[in-house]
């Protein structure tokens, strides 16, 4: 017995499980697009404010932060952090 068939998108989490046998007429390979980050390290150093925040990588207790409204206006702003020790960037929604 073979494995269950499925279609999946390599650029997003979409998966379509197939219950019946299908014949594939065309195969297309997608390539992930390069995206630019909302903030890069230089932006954070120039415009970020310093705060107490624990880095998820090195556990350092200080980081730069900046807030951006990236969702609808009735949702809270997203906070971006950059560790002052290892420069790891992370976000909190």
Classify residue 53: in a domain, yes or no. Answer: yes
- Is it the case that residue 83 has pLDDT exceeding 80? yes
Classify residue 85: in a domain, yes or no. Answer: yes
Q: Which residue has the higher pLDDT, 88 or 9?
A: 88
Known binding residues are 9, 12, 55, 58, 83, 86
- Tell me the CATH number at 86: 2.20.25.10
What is the tens place of the pLDDT at every residue in 8-45? 887 778 888 887 777 778 877 877 777 776 666 777 67
Classify residue 69: in a domain, yes or no. Answer: yes
Classify residue 17: in a domain, yes or no. Answer: no
Confidence at residue 54, expressed as pLDDT on a 0 to 100 scale: 96
What is the residue range of 82's domain?
41-92
Known binding residues for Zn(2+) are 9, 12, 55, 58, 83, 86
Q: Which residue has the higher pLDDT, 54 or 46?
A: 54
Q: What is the pTM of this model?
A: 0.55
Domain count, the chain: 1
- Is it the case that residue 1 has pLDDT exceeding 50? no
b/e per residue 34-70 (b: at least 16 CB within 10 A): eeeeebeeeebeeebeeeebebeeeeeeebbbbeeee
């Amino acid at each position: 017995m073979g494995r269950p068939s499925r279609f999946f998108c390599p650029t997003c989490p979409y998966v379509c499980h197939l219950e019946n046998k299908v014949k594939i007429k065309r195969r297309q390979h997608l390539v992930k697009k390069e995206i630019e980050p909302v903030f890069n390290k230089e932006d954070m150093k120039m415009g970020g404010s310093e705060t107490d925040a624990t880095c998820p990588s090195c556990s350092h207790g200080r980081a730069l932060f900046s807030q951006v409204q990236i969702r609808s206006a009735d949702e809270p702003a997203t906070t971006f952090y950059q560790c002052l020790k290892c420069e790891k960037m992370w976000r909190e929604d």
